[in-house]
Amino acid sequence: MTAVADNTAVTDVVEAQPVAPPSVIRPKRARSITSLWPLPVGFLLILAAWYLLTLRMKPNRRFLLPWPHDVVSKGFLDGEAMGEILASTWLTTKLAVFGLGVSIILGGTVGILMYRFKWYERMTFPYLVALQAVPILAISPLLQIAFGYGFFAKSVVCIIISFFPIPTNLLLGMKSVDRGMLDLFDLHGASWTTKLRKLALPNALPSIFAAFRISAGLSVIGAIVGEQFFQKGDPGLGQRLTQYRTLIEYERLYTCLIMSSLLGIVVFIFFGWLSNRVLRNWHESAQH
């Protein structure tokens, strides 16, 4: 039997070509030129809208929405202002990254536990939903009593705000494993951990990455909100926003807002890039 078995190579048959041609041969340059124009156009439109809005404001109220070029000259190009704003942005970045990291580790654990134990899912899920709906402002005194004013207290706010998408999307992704694939693993006696590692988690990757992208943005918001509650400590963007509003330094305030948007964009792009890298060979969501 052995001899026969090894050379049963069947004549190679020509079949319909693969659905997706390999990404390598895709003309990259042509694509980037045609797809990049919306970026500057969108930017110009927003800039135009800003000028229009400022123009339509009564001159004595114009300080509320200064001209974009004033924001650039008195914010971005002012060495002193930009120095403190950059330092604050760095602090906020560290806070957001820490909060997001904790959300991912904690949320991942909660998600896996919910997948493993139905009772745990039933027990936890309602509170996840509730947590997401909690008005952070209302519980800030509580947080203060429990965690003080420091880095950790701020990061708790950040975690609460960025947590929800992680366990819920992870759970959804793991639960949507194809029935037939589970049968296959069961048929060959795979343990629960094997199914988790080789089936459920890889299957959940696309939804995990979607969650990362959402939570990354939320963690920036969370960090700033946290800083605004707990004004003490080294000033991050949150404290700066409050400070500049009080001092009526709106050019600097808008500089801070733009910096926080940029921060959000950077983390979003990072996770988008990571997602495409990991999923590009097999998932529809990955662009070539």
3-state secondary structure of 117: coil
Give 149: exposed, middle or buried? Use CB within 10 Å, 0-12, 13-18, 19+.
Answer: middle
- We find the least distance from the C-beta atom of residue 184 to another protein, in angstroms, to be 6
- We find the least distance from the C-beta atom of residue 34 to another protein, in angstroms, to be 25
User: Is residue 238 within 8 Å of residue 110, measured between CB atoms?
Assistant: no
- We find the least distance from the C-beta atom of residue 18 to another protein, in angstroms, to be 4
Nearer to another protein, 10 or 142 (CB): 10
Residues that bind another protein (CB under 8 A): 1-6, 8-13, 15-20, 22, 178, 180-181, 183-190, 194, 198-199, 202-203, 205, 281-283
- We find the least distance from the C-beta atom of residue 204 to another protein, in angstroms, to be 11
Q: Which residue carries 């948007």 as its tokens?
A: 261
Nearer to another protein, 19 or 30 (CB): 19
- We find the least distance from the C-beta atom of residue 5 to another protein, in angstroms, to be 5
Nearer to another protein, 24 or 142 (CB): 24
Residue 288 neighbours by CB under 8 Å, 6+ apart? 23, 26, 280
Residues 19 and 257: their CA atoms lie apart, in Å, by: 45
Nearer to another protein, 91 or 170 (CB): 170
Amino acid present at 232: K
CB atoms within 10 A of CB 61: 9
Nearest to 201 by CA among 102, 122, 217, 209: 209
Q: What are phi and psi of 57, to 5 degrees?
A: -80, 150
Nearer to another protein, 190 or 221 (CB): 190
Residue 79 neighbours by CB under 8 Å, 6+ apart? none
Amino acid present at 109: T
Nearer to another protein, 27 or 189 (CB): 189
Nearer to another protein, 106 or 278 (CB): 278
User: Is residue 220 within 8 Å of residue 267, measured between CB atoms?
Assistant: yes
Q: What are phi and psi of 231, to 5 degrees?
A: -70, -15
- We find the least distance from the C-beta atom of residue 283 to another protein, in angstroms, to be 7
- We find the least distance from the C-beta atom of residue 288 to another protein, in angstroms, to be 12
